[in-house]
Amino acid sequence: MCKKEWNDAAESWVDFVRKGKDYYRDELNNPETFRLIGDMRGRIVLDLACGEGYNTRILARKGAKVTGIDFSEKLIELAKREEAKEKLGICYYVLDATDLKEFSSNHFDLVACFMSLQDIENYEKAISEVARVLKNLGRFVFSVPHPCFGTIIVDGKRTSAARRYFGAVKYPVQWKMERLAKPFRTTSFHRTLTDYFDALFRSKLFVSRLVEPRPTRKGLLKHPPLREALARPQSIIIESIKCTSSEDFSKPWK
């Protein structure tokens, strides 16, 4: 179901992202995420659940050798079309995040997952696969909607995640903002911070930094809805490091 939803939404999603309508990405989440990621020149990077490749292209322009994967055939097709125009050297694959069979173990310096892990049902298997394909001391950086402050659907009713924090919830996301070319629906999964941290820990991915991003000054001036993110965080960004021994955990990432 989730794959069909994103295939059906692909054209509208591309219009939303590429025409600057996704200002929560451009003026809130991306600035802080890329600041956390830092210099990627010459690094081997995987963009997990890359969609149509918007952030994949940013990583490539910053000098990384990037691969993007997504389970949506339509989104990968649209990403490949853009690669044919810009020729950034990105390789795209139609792959499920829970089975990265195309890649050998200990291959990537960084795996990034931009506001997508909440849409992956078997997130624990996905995190396990991330750990497998990362080099030792490689990093996994991902962002998700803030589990404490978002809005979820429970029994058909919208409710604050803070009021229904404990316990996983599968719920529909109705994309129907006016700035969308066409409304669509996807599926997400509410989880606690403990759920994510435990899954990381079991895969020997140890949390090193956590960021609750705030909107840019430009974004606040241009898009008033972003002001809500000044009072409470809309999302959370987590960096973890693969450490296969206790000695590794004490070493700085380089």
What span, in angstroms and rounded, lies between the C-alpha atoms of 254 and 248?
12
Kindly state the average pLDDT of the residues 122-147: 98
Amino acid identity of 92? Y
Kindly state the average pLDDT of the residues 45-64: 98
CA 154 vs CA 1, 45, 186, 231: distances in Å: 19, 36, 15, 25
What span, in angstroms and rounded, lies between the C-alpha atoms of 224 and 9?
26
Show the CA angle centred on residue 189, arms to residues 184 and 192, nearest 5°: 145
pLDDT value of position 158 = 83
- At 7, give phi and psi (nearest 5°): -65, -45
Kindly state the average pLDDT of the residues 119-131: 98
**Does the pLDDT at position 153 exceed 90?**
no
Q: Which of 190, 176, 191, 187 is nearest to 6 (CA)?
A: 187
pLDDT value of position 249 = 53
pLDDT value of position 244 = 87
Percent of the chain whose pLDDT exceeds 70: 96
Span 88-109, pLDDT tens digits: 999 999 999 999 999 999 999 9
| pTM given for the model | 0.94
